[in-house]
Each structure stands twice: as structure tokens, then as C-alpha cells.
Amino acid sequence: MLKFILKQIFVAIIQILIVATIVFSLLRFMPGDPAVLALGTERGSDPEAVQQMREQLGLNEPFLTQFADWIAGVFQLDFGQSLFNNVQVWDYLASSIPKTLELAIAAIIIGSVVGVTLGILASINRGGMIDKLATSIAAIGLSFPVYITGTAFVLILSIQFNLLPSSGYVDFFDDPIGHLKSLIMPSFAISLPLIASITRMTRSSMLEVLDRDFVRTLRAKGLSEKIILIRHVLRNAVISVVTVIGLEMANLIGGTVLIEYMFNWSGLSTLLVDSINSRDYPIIQGAVIIIASFYILINRTVEIIYGLMDPRTR
């Protein structure tokens, strides 16, 4: 098992290296001088500014040295400075990573708890009322985009009933309750499609496992239906549900921009979109690498959990 985990870590490092290489090459292979690109058309016409920028970006060094410095920087979380002020890219990232993680984790917890419960109920009531209700909820969750459900939440919960703040991030250490209140709506809005896909996955894999021969053996052993369902059927079904949860989680790291904007919750994807708009290349690079690394790490973790849960893959 230890060997398996080490292998996964090794794979993750290699994948992050590849991402770092691609991100490094992107700026170098773009047509035109990266320094001019970085400066923009107006300031790029000033040769002195260009020279200064080349210095700052290290473009005067030999290519391989640039590459080595860049990779070394990535592993020390040093992505350089923003082009517009002297703030380190990492400082920008450090303030948005926790927000993104918090939002993603909250949404995943809601999505998993509700989704798995609905999925189990639907599968044991196959064809019954609860099954129909759960599959309808899943269909609704999948068919409404987050900006619709998000807006609906704001309209109903904030404006109509004034229960929750309509937007805005409150720091946890300033006001813990206010912080959690402001977390509720964005995380619920994000979790709706998650509930949908997790419900469907749980339902279908529960039904698939219920059809397997060993369930009959368990019944022949005289076990109660509850133990068969929870200890055996769910235990087998949850293996594929974990994969879906992992993939969804990975998608959330860089994919919550709409909700972040809507609720003024400036996480990683807001940072990425803003820096693309202002062409702040070092921040783009840093954000892309961080998002990709989370994606990779989550996937590797899912792989490890999968291995722990299914003895056949060890």
C-alpha cells in the first residue's frame, strides 16, 4: 500500500512538472517579445521600459537558465511579482486559495451528504415515489445553471425574507457567524449540480451492486436487509461515487467564477479572470499552476482512496 501511495505522489510531481513546463513555454512561444507583451502596446514602444522588463523577467539569461529558475521558483511557490505593483504573486494566491478551498469543500460536503442520501433512498425505492422525487431533483439540479439558482437564492433568501446577506465576504476571524452566513448561499448554489450528479451516480451504482450475485449469498446467510444494504451494497457502490465526488471537487477549484463574482467571493478563479483581463502574466501563470496542481493532487488522492476502498486495485 505504501508503495502504491508513493507511486501516486511520484506521478503527481511529474504531472505538476509538465504543467509548469507548459506554462513556462506559453509566454516564451507567444509571438512577439514577452517583455513587450507584458508591457502592453503603449509602454512597449519605449525601448528603455522594454529593457527594464526584460531584466525583471530574466529574459536576458540563457534559455535553460530561465527554465531552471522558473521550475525552482515554482516549487518554492515563487512566481515573481505582479507587473503593476511590486506585490509577490504568491501573496495574491495566498489570499484567494483559502476562499476557494472553503467554498469548494462546503459545496462538496453538502453535495455528498444530500446526494448520497437521496441516491440510497431512490435505489431502495426503485420506481416508487421517493425514487421519482429524487431523480426529478437531480434533473432540476443539472438543468439550471448556477447563475440562475444563485440569483433565485438571492431574490428569495436575501431580498424577500432578508435571512442571509446577498453578497460579500466577511473574514472568519472578524465575524465567524457572519462569515458562515455569507458562505451558505454560494455553497448551496454550487452544490445543486453536485447533488444532482452524486444522486444519479449513487442510485445507479447501488442498483448495479444490488443486482450482483453476492447480494443473494448475503441474503442466504440470513443477514438483515439493513446490514446488507449499508455494510455491503453501499460499501461497494460508494467506490464509484468517490470518483465522481473527487472529479467534481477538482472542477470546483478553478471553475466557480460565476458564483464568485455573483457573491463577491474573490477566490482563485476570480483572480485568474481578473489577471487575464489586465494581462498580468505572472499572476496568470501562478494561478494556472496552482489550479492545475490542486486538480492533480485531488485526482491522485482519489486514486489512493480508491485503492484503499477496493482491494482489487491495490
Q: Which of 4, 75, 84, 214 binds another protein (CB under 8 A)?
A: 214
Shortest distance (Å) from residue 130 CB to another protein: 16
Q: Which of 26, 15, 46, 60 is nearest to 303 (CA)?
A: 15
Q: Which of 31, 32, 62, 311 binds another protein (CB under 8 A)?
A: 311
Shortest distance (Å) from residue 14 CB to another protein: 29
Residue 89's H or E segment, with its range, is helix 89-124
Shortest distance (Å) from residue 291 CB to another protein: 34
Q: CA distances (Å), 183 to each of 45, 113, 248, in order?
A: 46, 17, 19
Site string for another protein, 255-294 (x = CB under 8 A): ----------------------------------------
> Nearer to another protein by C-beta: 126 or 132?
126
Distant-in-sequence, close-in-space partners of 169: CB < 8 Å, separation ≥ 6: 99, 179, 182, 263, 264, 265, 266
The residues that bridge with 173 in the sheet, in sequence order, are: none
CA-CA distance, 112 to 141, in Å (whole number)?
14
> Nearer to another protein by C-beta: 160 or 221?
221
Shortest distance (Å) from residue 301 CB to another protein: 19
> Nearer to another protein by C-beta: 121 or 209?
209
CA-CA distance, 157 to 150, in Å (whole number)?
10
Q: Which of residues 72-111 bind another protein (CB under 8 A)?
A: none
DSSP reduced 3-state for 191: helix
Site string for another protein, 125-164 (x = CB under 8 A): ----------------------------------------
By rule CB under 8 A, what count of residues binds another protein?
22
> What is the CB neighbour count within 10 angstroms for residue 114?
20
CA-CA distance, 284 to 18, in Å (whole number)?
17
Q: Which of residues 227-246 bind another protein (CB under 8 A)?
A: 227, 232, 235-236, 239
CA-CA distance, 172 to 63, in Å (whole number)?
45
Binding site for another protein (CB under 8 A): 212-214, 216-225, 227, 232, 235-236, 239, 309-312
